[in-house]
Structure 1
Amino acid sequence: MLLIPCPYCGPRPELEFRNAGHAHIARATAADDQGWAETLFYRDNPKGVIAERWRHFSGCGRFFNALRDTVSDGFLASYRVGEPRPAAPPPIPEGEAPRIGAGEEPRP
């Protein structure tokens, strides 16, 4: 079971969360149809560490941001919306499980 570190509730099972897309994206204030399409639908799918927005819908119901390694699917850090993005820790090596569990802090 994958545990996701909610910055409000602590580590919880992944079934309690929903991904809400990329974090820290520049949203268009006034755009044509192509600009809105790029804002809403076209996203990079990079290999490595990305910042995402998540919602803990079965817990506190709050949104938060998290750094996730797309190679290992491990969560490296989580932080509240409005806080600055933390420096990305080194990615989790392929084949290694993320080190987070009940009572543990996310990897440094």
Structure 2
Amino acid sequence: MQVFTCPFCGPRDETEFHFAAEAGKERPQPAEETSDADWADYLYFNDAPRGPAREVWVHVTCGEFFLMTRDTVTRAVSEVAPLPGRGE
């Protein structure tokens, strides 16, 4: 098991967390003019880089979303931070 640190609750078991999205991914706008193919691309396809990646995660216990920078190869977490405008 891996331990992730929630910026609101502190260190917790990885089973309390879920991946939410790639950080910085732009939502297609305006929604009513977005094709089904563009929505599918936005919802289901991620870049999935090898190495450092900035991601949005949710701590299901407290319900807070936050940013995590982790290496997708080694699984090492280098930074966690509240989403802009939250927490700090």
Partner residue of 1:38? Answer: 41
Residue among 43, 53, 56 paired with 1:50: 53
Partner residue of 2:82? Answer: 80
Partner residue of 1:15? Answer: 15
Q: Is the 8 A contact 1:5 1:77 kept in 2?
A: no
Identity level (%): 38
- 2-side partners of 1:56 and 1:5: how far apart? 9
Residues 40-59 of structure 1, C-alpha deviations (whole Å, 9 max, x = no match) = 1121121001111111112x
* Structure 1 residue ranges (4+ consecutive) displaced by more than 4 angstroms after TM superposition: none
Amino acid at match of 1:71: V
Amino acid at match of 1:49: P
* 1:59-78 equivalences in 2 (<5 Å): 60-78=62-80
Report how many residues are paired: 82
- Which protein is richer in strand relative to its size? 2
Displacement of 1:20 in angstroms is 0.9
Structure 2 residue runs of 5 or longer lacking an equivalent are: none
RMSD: 1.3
Scaled by the length of structure 1, the TM-score of the pair is 0.70
Scaled by the length of structure 2, the TM-score of the pair is 0.84
- 2-side partners of 1:10 and 1:34: how far apart? 39
Structure 1 residue runs of 5 or longer lacking an equivalent are: 84-108
Q: Secondary structure at the match of 1:39?
A: helix
Residues 19-51 of structure 1, C-alpha deviations (whole Å, 9 max, x = no match) = 112121111012112211211112112100111
- 1-side partners of 2:51 and 2:78: how far apart? 11
